[in-house]
Copies of this chain bind each other. A is one copy, B any other.
Amino acid sequence: MSIRDLARHLDISIGTVSRALNGKADVNPETRERVLEAAKRLGYVPNQSGRSLRQGTTNTIGFMIESTIETADAGGSFFMPVFEGVQSVFRRHHLDLVALLCGTDEDPASYLNRVVGRRFVDGLIISATMRHDPRIDFLLERKIPFVALGRSATRGDYSWIDLDFEGVAATAVTRLAGFGHRRIAIGTPASDLNLGYVFLDGYKRALAANGIGFDPSLILPANGNEEGGYQVACRLLAQEPMPTAIILVNENMAVGLYRRLYEAGLQPGRDIAVIGFRESTQSRFLSPTLTCFRISLRDLGIKLAEAMLSALPAFEGQYPRETVELIWPMQLVSGESDRPGSPSGLA
């Protein structure tokens, strides 16, 4: 149902229908009433998309995330608060946020290509950056405004914000070394995510700084979810001698790791030191309490939104063009899981 169909149905000129719909004064009240009634009955909706194409803007920003089976249960608890932060900024500027869901088995680069072709977004926030990420080349070549949540080895003039993975690794290793640990394992992503490389680099440098040799058998790649944490614990238990400490790169792993340790009669803090990644609602309710790192995902979302606005030509006046390259700090939250002593709660 277009405005043309509506005009034809009413046998009134398109111009008159348009003026009636837009509340102009030069349409007589009866005609306006007829037009509005017919528009409602026939399901006419003003065509914002056509309007936007002429104006060159859709006032919609896409946030691309990957909804794979692996991350299906886990990803939401990270992204929802980020979305909330992004929206709190966009709302002031009458921008809408849509999550672009790239499914399992779909190549993220060709998905992005298709979405860009649909032209319903003015700009993009991409996440889950790979070490070499063809999406970045694609967006740069086509001059499409975007911000990356996550660094990449793919170069170019674009804004990115990333969590401080090397800082987390360095702080965790140094803390554990200070408690006397020498066999410190890490649970890393099983995929080609760039964050895995950054985390591993930080870990190696921190080992060296603390005079500890690097042992590749202590690198335990796993999926970033509860099941992955369970698998990490299985492999820890299989090692002889067992590592005395483990650092996780994903917040969802901790729950599965705890479970497997308990099954083996081991307790975090007493029998093995555990440092988790991000403090989450789950981790806050674990017993013994988990040593992990705090970040405000809502604030991260706010910063992402501001970086996006700085990349959009339409907002040049309010947000001057700027390339943001920001490593977001995370604060250690000291728990009971990595220190000897008597944890409260379940023990």
- Interface positions of A (Cβ within 8 A of B): 1, 40, 42-50, 52-53, 58-60, 62, 67-69, 71-81, 83-84, 87-88, 91, 96-101, 103-106, 114-120, 141-144, 225-227, 252, 255-256, 258-259, 262-263, 280-282, 284-285, 287, 298, 345-346
Q: When A76-B80, A101-B98 are in contact, do A119 and B48 touch as well, CB less than 8 Å?
A: yes
8 A-B pairs in the complex with CB atoms less than 8 angstroms apart? A49-B49, A49-B119, A72-B84, A73-B80, A75-B76, A87-B101, A88-B103, A252-B281
* Set of chain B residues within 8 Å of A67, measured between Cβ atoms: 80, 83-84, 87
Residue of B nearest to A344 (CB): B263
Residue of B nearest to A50 (CB): B53
Most chain B Cβ neighbours within 10 Å, of A67, A105, A280, A287: A67
Residue of B nearest to A47 (CB): B119
**B69 & A84 in contact (Cβ 8 Å cutoff):** yes
Number of copies: 2
Residue of B nearest to A104 (CB): B84
Give the distance in Å from the alpha carbon of A58 to the alpha carbon of B74 in the complex: 30
Q: When A256-B285, A262-B346 are in contact, do A103 and B87 touch as well, CB less than 8 Å?
A: yes
Contact of A76 among B62, B76, B143, B226 (CB under 8 A): B76
**A84 & B96 in contact (Cβ 8 Å cutoff):** no
Give the distance in Å from the alpha carbon of A184 to the alpha carbon of B119 in the complex: 54
**A118 & B79 in contact (Cβ 8 Å cutoff):** no
Give the distance in Å from the alpha carbon of A251 to the alpha carbon of B49 in the complex: 39
* Set of chain B residues within 8 Å of A106, measured between Cβ atoms: 91
* Set of chain B residues within 8 Å of A52, measured between Cβ atoms: 118
**B258 & A226 in contact (Cβ 8 Å cutoff):** no
**A282 & B262 in contact (Cβ 8 Å cutoff):** no
**B225 & A118 in contact (Cβ 8 Å cutoff):** no
Give the distance in Å from the alpha carbon of A298 to the alpha carbon of B59 in the complex: 32
* Set of chain B residues within 8 Å of A99, measured between Cβ atoms: 98-99, 101
Q: When A72-B80, A76-B77, A84-B69 are in contact, do A96 and B119 touch as well, CB less than 8 Å?
A: no
Shortest distance from the beta carbon of A335 to any chain B beta carbon, whole Å: 14
**A118 & B119 in contact (Cβ 8 Å cutoff):** no
